[in-house]
Structure 1
């Protein structure tokens, strides 16, 4: 299947799931039985999984994988179709050398090769995939940038300063409205929307910030200076009515609704593009703690990784159930990052940023794969 055809097919399926969630976005989410059943005992790699699921380690920081050394502190990630195989891209959240790497898998799941797609950047935390098959790698530093990278390793990465200079976290493309949503990891961070001058070209465009109108109602207002040069003009402080979120993290769009997490708020938020409202679909009172990276499936299921907590990935179903689908034992000083599904939806990739060592430099990072009957 051609790359663009694959993306179009997935977008149509996700549109259906977004429609389901738009009706339930304001509904309460509470702990309940997982659609996959309870977690079993930890396997040899410390992964507790439901019956019928298996896991493996695909990469470790500082060790050779597919001809390259895997980077420290693996963070945000995404999968891309590539012929009969696929590619998993992962950021590196360390200073100065950060960047991102990619692993190319064959059709049978074996690793063909690995390579760098971005070098010499700072604290690359999360990001997002685009419909035109690029990876947006975001710097989580003061006046950080978004870099557009090529998962296939053929084109040089490009800085996209028009998307704003701030402490970037994640990005989610909305092909229906031709915009990109952006989160900000500050205790008084904002939620942004970038509208490219030309869809598919992120070199120029308008940056807006979400503003409150009272209650759940919101509107977008332009950021006067997306590339501020002084402390007084920090991006998040340029529009006084900007809505604040404590510790913006992951971001995922599904036809009509953009879901994003805020670890300080301990909530999963939903921005409804039709109603122009933002509301919490999860308020931190269930099994999910330390909400961080988020992804989703055409089924309408959301998958949220924990930063700390008890090191789980939890599912949030369209009918309002939150339940663990994976837990890592013996890694309480780490965080789970980069959840992403293979194009066929049968494999889930993610990392433990600091692994069993818990070292802040991320030298113990481990990247995993879980295979099983995930709901499509």
Structure 2
């Protein structure tokens, strides 16, 4: 008797046959009718590693901006351990890159301020005395949402410039937060949950721009296709976990990064190596990438984690372990490596974010070359070059 089909074989078969068991056509940018497939990237192959162990395409250069437990060059500020989620904010002619610290009790977040020419001007703390600050998201009004990744975790709203004290927002739910992405059209914030049976949430503030009060909702559905939302009854204080309070809540295997652009909320799930696309106007869920649905060679993207996007519409997805790559997915449905970090085999790539002008990409290797769990060997990088627009 022949062996039963495993999940990858089954999904590939339905894809090749044009079936709709796994999905009914990805909506990502309305550009292609199935999850992304491997192919040549817009920047060509990766070159040999530079002096920092970065393999980059031709025309791109990299540098180390900060090292955990060491002073940021040109400042008196010591960079935090285990750098994780990050974002960039405009600051006059320059910009600020913020980064979370995914360690217990003293996690918080820090920032590096850059001049217009990329010179580091200063570095400083923007959040203290919080725990396991994993990912987060930028708001349209210029704040950074730093998310705690534990069962009673909170979302903290911080000032990237370091002028205003951070504020906790219990109304956004107490759960194992991962990332956040703001949708200014519908005036909601999408939130991922890092649990093997976690959910996707959205927060509807009473007043857009003020996250202190509002309604937390959870996505309902069974698969790709039409979905809907329902309000969580007890998001602040609970005996029953938030993800179990609403019957029919859709389950996701380890929610990670979250990014919103052009009416679509993209989010990743590490347990099944997927990049999802939620069409907010149509209230429909589809797949942008699934390593089990790769029909053209081996999947280049595994260990999916943090996600961001470029002016061009390309998505950039960081890997947790795997090949220590940042892969990009183009609007025409090609997935391909953009960079690789060598010699950091026990680490993960975190915090990808573009400078406001789109010419520089920041990210970190959370545990660096040592792989030490406390993250005291973390590296934060900058890659500059001809990113397409």
| Shift in alpha-carbon separation, 1:348–1:200, aligned structure 2, 3 A | same
DSSP-derived class of the 1:314 partner: strand
1:35 to 28, 33, 42: 42
- Alignment partners' CA distance in 2, 1:340 and 1:333: 22
DSSP-derived class of the 2:317 partner: strand
Name 2:329's counterpart in structure 1. Answer: 316
Name 1:340's counterpart in structure 2. Answer: 353
Name 2:7's counterpart in structure 1. Answer: none
Displacement after TM superposition at 1:214 (Å): 5.8
**Residue 213 of structure 1 contacts residue 219 of structure 1 at CA under 8 Å; is this kept in 2?**
no
Displacement after TM superposition at 1:168 (Å): 0.1
- Alignment partners' CA distance in 2, 1:26 and 1:162: 38
Unaligned runs of 5+ in 2: 1-26
**Residue 98 of structure 2 contacts residue 111 of structure 2 at CA under 8 Å; is this kept in 1?**
yes
Displacement after TM superposition at 1:97 (Å): 0.0
Displacement after TM superposition at 1:298 (Å): 2.5
| Total equivalences in the alignment | 355
TM-score (norm 1): 0.93
Name 1:79's counterpart in structure 2. Answer: 88
Name 2:147's counterpart in structure 1. Answer: 138
**Residue 273 of structure 2 contacts residue 304 of structure 2 at CA under 8 Å; is this kept in 1?**
yes
Displacement after TM superposition at 1:213 (Å): 5.7
Displacement after TM superposition at 1:22 (Å): 3.4
Displacement after TM superposition at 1:24 (Å): 2.9
| Shift in alpha-carbon separation, 1:215–1:63, aligned structure 2, 3 A | closer
Displacement after TM superposition at 1:26 (Å): 4.8
Name 1:8's counterpart in structure 2. Answer: none
Over alpha carbons, which structure has the higher Rg?
A: 2
- Is 1:262 equivalent to 2:269 in the alignment? yes
**Residue 26 of structure 1 contacts residue 281 of structure 1 at CA under 8 Å; is this kept in 2?**
no
- Is 1:54 equivalent to 2:51 in the alignment? no
Displacement after TM superposition at 1:273 (Å): 1.1
2:252 to 245, 259, 281: 245
**Aligned-pair RMSD on alpha carbons?**
1.1
DSSP-derived class of the 1:34 partner: coil
**Residue 196 of structure 1 contacts residue 203 of structure 1 at CA under 8 Å; is this kept in 2?**
yes
Name 2:181's counterpart in structure 1. Answer: 172
